[in-house]
Structure 1
């Protein structure tokens, strides 16, 4: 089994620690720990190791499923990883809608084979007929990330249900990474609620602002969730006691937290949108906190632009090469508004020097 290096994470490892501002972060700004009771008591394993039944039941309500149809994990990354291991073998095939978060393509590709279907810029629409054409007899899973990272595209319910029907008709599961779903003002029904072939993964990272908890889950049919739990015995065994303790409180406060975070995301999208228009750049106005912006004129690629920005201004952006689009870069707008404005001001200074011949 061979898996390719995670290019975005390697990029962050190269620059993030020493930089001043992170304008490539893909989640909402982090909440302070003092908002919650952090006294977890005894720091033992979570028992049972797929998550406390009451927590799983609370999560399951979002999907019209039972507690036994949820497995708690260390973030959505582990949820996706375990689900792929339970669904894809060396003779199996996955259809992955791209661009997307790299692990949603690279993990099934490391285990089986993958056919990608690209969203079509500039609106990043999905041609459902191309998904149908990509499905094979050996296809076991079709993969979406909705709202999408990096484009911010939120495919409509009609499109998602059409993809679900294609997968179900082929006897394959539709796996949807929905970590940004609750940042939408009017969230779609989750894929795990659509029927026996629907699988949803999520976490408290992106929409809740609790990345440090490393707490996520997979929800779906019992056989998929049980398979993920079987693999989990060989990875982290159980979710972290501390993460589950705080996540339980966040789930209880979800309406207040999500309202606050949606308002912040909306304000910041407006701020970023004005900056993009002022510089003659373009993006698809995103749902969530990821925007995929065109690279300014005068730069050969997203990577060359982002490299110059971080070296000259101490601001980290994500090059589009990490998502297969070297003509773009990902801008994260989930941070505190004052920090976003500060970062964009540095980009103003950078582009002014570039426009005056400093490139």
Structure 2
């Protein structure tokens, strides 16, 4: 099995360490550990290794499912990997909606074969006929990220239902990475609640502001979750005991945490929108905390723009070619307010010099 290098992670590895401001972070600012009890008792394996049953039952209830329909994982990244290993084999095919977080395209392409269907700028609409045309007899999986990273596009309930129906009609599954879903003021029902062909993955990284826990889950029909658990025996075996202990507390306090983080996202979206408008740039007003912004005039592509910004202002942005869109760059506005304001002020200075 071969897999291509993760372009965004390699970019971060090269520029993030010595930069002053990380303005490409894709989640909400991290909550302090002092907000939680961080002592889980003995630091052994979580037993059973798919996660504590009562906690899984409570998570499953959010999807209208049972405890055994949930598998706790090391973040959404592991949840997605286990899903792909469970739902794709050599010779099988996946349809992936792009642009998207690279692992949602590269992992299925490493396991099976993929066809991509692009969201169409500037509104990042999805052509359902193009998705239908991409489905083959050997298609076992449709892959979606909603709300979308990097564009912030939140496809409607009607569109997601149409995708689910396309998957079900093909005896395939619809896998939706929903890490930003709970940052929406009015979240759509999760895909795993739509029927036996729906699989949801998520984590406490983005909407909860708890990236360091590395805690997430996969929810779906029993045959998918069971196969994923079988693969998990060969990856991380069990979720982190500390991660589960703190995630349980965050889940119980989710109403207050999510309200706080949604308010921060709204405030920071306004600050970022003002920057976009000041400089005559374009974006699609996003759900979540990622803005996908057009490259300013005078720069050949997002890569050269981001290179100059990090060199001259010590501010890290994400070049759009990491998502297959070289005419854009991604700006993450979920970081602490003072850091966002500092980063935007430096970008203002940069833009004025290069106007």
Fold conserved between structures, TM > 0.5: yes
Higher mean C-alpha displacement, 139-148 vs 48-57: 48-57
Whole-angstrom distance in 2 between the partners of 1:210 and 1:55: 17
Which consecutive segments of 4 or more residues in structure 1 shift more than 2 A? none
Alignment of 1:257-272 (within 5 A): 257-272=257-272
Whole-angstrom distance in 1 between the partners of 2:88 and 2:168: 16
Whole-angstrom distance in 2 between the partners of 1:313 and 1:54: 49
**Aligned position for 1:141:** 141
TM-score, length basis structure 2:
0.99
Report Cα offsets for 1:110-135 as digits up to 9, x if no partner.
Answer: 01100000000000011111111000
Report Cα offsets for 1:1-40 as digits up to 9, x if no partner.
Answer: 1000000000011111111111100000000000000111
**Aligned position for 2:132:** 132
**Aligned position for 2:157:** 157
**Aligned position for 1:310:** 310
CA drift of 1:41 comes to 1.1
In structure 2, runs of 5+ residues without a counterpart are none
Corresponding residue SS for 1:142? strand
Report Cα offsets for 1:205-258 as digits up to 9, x if no partner.
Answer: 000000000000000000000111111011111110000000000000000000
Corresponding residue SS for 2:62? helix
Whole-angstrom distance in 1 between the partners of 2:49 and 2:310: 42
Alignment of 1:307-346 (within 5 A): 307-346=307-346
Alignment of 1:24-103 (within 5 A): 24-103=24-103
Alignment of 1:138-287 (within 5 A): 138-287=138-287
CA drift of 1:284 comes to 0.2
Report Cα offsets for 1:153-186 as digits up to 9, x if no partner.
Answer: 0000000000000000100000000000000000
Whole-angstrom distance in 1 between the partners of 2:347 and 2:28: 21
Report Cα offsets for 1:35-80 as digits up to 9, x if no partner.
Answer: 0001111100011111111111111011100000000000000000
Whole-angstrom distance in 2 between the partners of 1:324 and 1:236: 31
Whole-angstrom distance in 2 between the partners of 1:89 and 1:26: 31
**Aligned position for 2:297:** 297
Whole-angstrom distance in 1 between the partners of 2:241 and 2:16: 28
Whole-angstrom distance in 2 between the partners of 1:105 and 1:116: 8
In structure 1, runs of 5+ residues without a counterpart are none
Corresponding residue SS for 1:63? coil
Whole-angstrom distance in 2 between the partners of 1:5 and 1:149: 18
| Aligned length, in residue pairs | 355
Corresponding residue SS for 2:86? helix
**Aligned position for 1:21:** 21
